Amino acid sequence: MKKFVIGLVLLSLSGTTFAQQEPDDIALATNEFQLSYYEALKQKGIENNDRAIESLKKCLVLEPNNAAVYNELGRNYLKLRDYKASYDSFEKAFQIDPKNRWYLHGMYDVCFQTKDYNQAVVLVEKLVAFDLGYREDLTSLYMYTQQFDKALALINELNDTVGKSEKRENYKKQILQDARFQGSEKDDLLKSIAENPKDESNYIALIYLYSNSNQEEKAMEVAKKLEKAIPDSDWAQVSLFKFHLNNNDGPKAVKAMNQILDSNKIDNKIKHRVLNEFLIFAKNNAGYEAELQKAVSYFSEDKEVAVAKEIGKFFQSKEDWNQAKTYYAMQLSNNPNDLETALLLFQAYVKLEDFEALAKKSEEMTELFPSQPDLYYFAGLANNQLKKFSQAKDYLESGIDYVIENKALEINFNIQLGEAYNGLGDQKKKELYFKKADQLLKK
């Protein structure tokens, strides 16, 4: 019997290269079967799936139990999103040839595309028997179907056999937020630490586990063990920093904080938390201003959170205007176009009656934001206080035209214009602007 060899291509969702080959060799019983099958492949190649299916059905008339034909039908139906027909075709192929996992994988493709993850689990659990590479797919499927106990067991197994992955570690953190799974995980981590005391990751995971369940003392014990086992560990300092703050040991807390902030292993969320805790400590304990400024400097390139600005707001809420001014100025130095910070800084200048600095900076900012009325207002206010009434008038008259639907700001402009004209000796205009301000107040 003459044989015609056709190469078939199948894409795996898991991305794993499998040892078992697809059904490449198809014995063609007749020339008619051969021609129909070849025509089906040709039509599929040009994405004419309907015609490919017609040709494959002709093949089934000649060979009704040909698994490869059903497999091709499954692929074509899948392209047409006829999911039931596709699944049924792959299932028929697998029934005829249950040793070929590609037919089973075809059913998995259908379930994955239709998001039928429960059935996908059943199929992938069978596929694992063919190739262990499917365990990665199975981990995700357990998460999708909320089978967290099975997911955790499989994650730990994979961590031990093939090493950890970021994806699996994220899954694990999600699972361990549920207290039901923390007990067994704690025991596993304690065992792993005992067996391999130089593996930092187990300590870190255990610290997180204890911290997330509000067992700070136990987290501290683990951090101390980590510091003893790996003296240069940055992660040990995260918990030790909190311990030093609680003991009111500022110098040790500063040392731990600087190591944390300088570390490229610790993510910014934790660094922000550390800085916030030290900020509260510094506010209640005098003498740490220099250390706080150094800590803020670590975040000068942080694009997500304007750390210096947020610290300035903290001190402003405490009415510590000197400290607020310091941090607003620092933020504005790092980002000269930060209008919000500029306005906050100007408020601090007013509270501190530093009108020289206010005049200088507000005038500079009007060049950057020529249509921002608040800047002209602060420039006018500062110059009035410095008795530079002509300059104050010019800024105020230029800026008031930009005030739109802001009654409070319009009132303040008119008051300052009245002050400017009073200083210039023009009583008529002084009364005019004070009257406008009074009318606005009464509205």
Each residue of 50-77: pLDDT tens digit? 999 999 999 999 999 999 999 999 999 9
pLDDT at 383 over 50: yes
* Position 100 in a domain: yes
Lowest average pLDDT, out of 129-138, 140-149, 224-233, 355-364, goes to: 224-233
Q: State whether residue 317 is helix, strand or coil.
A: helix
Query: pLDDT at position 181, please?
Result: 67
Residues 120 and 173 in one domain: no
- Cβ burial 120-146 (10 Å sphere, 16+ → b, else e): bbebbebbeebbebbbbbbbbbbbeee
Lowest average pLDDT, out of 162-171, 179-188, 259-268, 415-424, goes to: 179-188
Residues 130 and 173 in one domain: no
Query: pLDDT at position 220, please?
Result: 78
Query: pLDDT at position 179, please?
Result: 64
Q: Which amino acid is at 91?
A: E
Side-chain-facing half-sphere of 219: CA atoms under 13 Å = 20
CATH of the domain at 92: 1.25.40.10
Q: State whether residue 146 is helix, strand or coil.
A: coil
Query: pLDDT at position 3, please?
Result: 33
Which of the four pLDDT bands, split at 50, 70 and 90, describes residue 100?
very high
* Position 318 in a domain: no
Residues 22 and 94 in one domain: yes
* Position 106 in a domain: yes
* Position 227 in a domain: no
Give the torsion through C-alpha atoms of 279, 284, 290, 292, to 10 deg: 0
Residues 24 and 72 in one domain: yes
Residues 179 and 130 in one domain: no
Residues 180 and 52 in one domain: no
pLDDT at 11 over 50: no
Residues 125 and 179 in one domain: no
Would you tell me how many other CB atoms lie within 10 Å of the CB of residue 360?
A: 14
CA 54 to CA 61: how far, in whole Å?
A: 11
* Position 319 in a domain: no
CA 24 to CA 386: how far, in whole Å?
A: 91
Write down which residue in 156, 188, 214 finishes a domain: 214
Q: What is the CA radius of gyration of the chain?
A: 36
Which percentage of the chain shows pLDDT scores above 70? 91
- Of 145, 149, 160, the C-alpha closest to 192 is 160
- Within the chain, what is the greatest distance between any pair of CA atoms? 116
Which percentage of the chain shows pLDDT scores above 90? 53
- Token pair 């005038």: residue: 363
Q: Which domain holds residue 179?
A: 167-214
Would you tell me how many other CB atoms lie within 10 Å of the CB of residue 38?
A: 14
Q: Which tokens in the block code for residue 177?
A: 């937020």
How far, CA to CA in Å, does 378 sit from each of 166, 186, 357, 443? Answer: 51, 59, 11, 24
Q: Return all residues near 377 (Cβ < 8 A) that are at least 6 apart.
A: 396, 399, 409, 412, 413, 416
* Position 232 in a domain: no
Lowest average pLDDT, out of 16-30, 208-222, 286-300, 340-354, goes to: 16-30
Query: pLDDT at position 5, please?
Result: 31
Provide the CA 269 distance to its chain's centre, in angstroms: 10
Q: Which tokens in the block code for residue 25?
A: 């060799």
More confident residue, 5 or 225: 225
Alpha helices in 5-100 (DSSP H): 31-45, 49-62, 67-79, 83-96
pLDDT at 322 over 60: yes
Q: Is residue 398 within 8 Å of 370, Cβ to Cβ?
A: no
Residues 112 and 178 in one domain: no
More confident residue, 289 or 404: 404
Which of the four pLDDT bands, split at 50, 70 and 90, describes residue 379?
very high
Partner residues linked to 26 by β-bridges: 4
Which of the four pLDDT bands, split at 50, 70 and 90, describes residue 182?
low
**78-103 mean pLDDT:** 95
Residues 120 and 29 in one domain: yes
Query: pLDDT at position 314, please?
Result: 86
Residues 364 and 435 in one domain: yes
- Token pair 């089978």: residue: 147
* Position 275 in a domain: no
Query: pLDDT at position 20, please?
Result: 45
Query: pLDDT at position 303, please?
Result: 66
Lowest average pLDDT, out of 8-17, 24-33, 309-318, 419-428, goes to: 8-17
* Position 266 in a domain: no
Q: Which tokens in the block code for residue 283?
A: 């506010």
Which of the four pLDDT bands, split at 50, 70 and 90, describes residue 104?
very high
Residues 130 and 174 in one domain: no
**Maximum average pLDDT range among 13-27, 288-302, 314-328:** 314-328
Write down which residue in 175, 192, 214 finishes a domain: 214
Number of structural domains found in the chain:
3
Partner residues linked to 227 by β-bridges: none
Q: Is residue 352 within 8 Å of 322, Cβ to Cβ?
A: yes
Summarised one tens digit per residue, pLDDT across range 242-280 is 888 888 999 999 999 999 999 888 878 788 888 888 988
CA 78 to CA 91: how far, in whole Å?
A: 13
Residues 131 and 177 in one domain: no
Write down which residue in 135, 157, 188 finishes a domain: 135
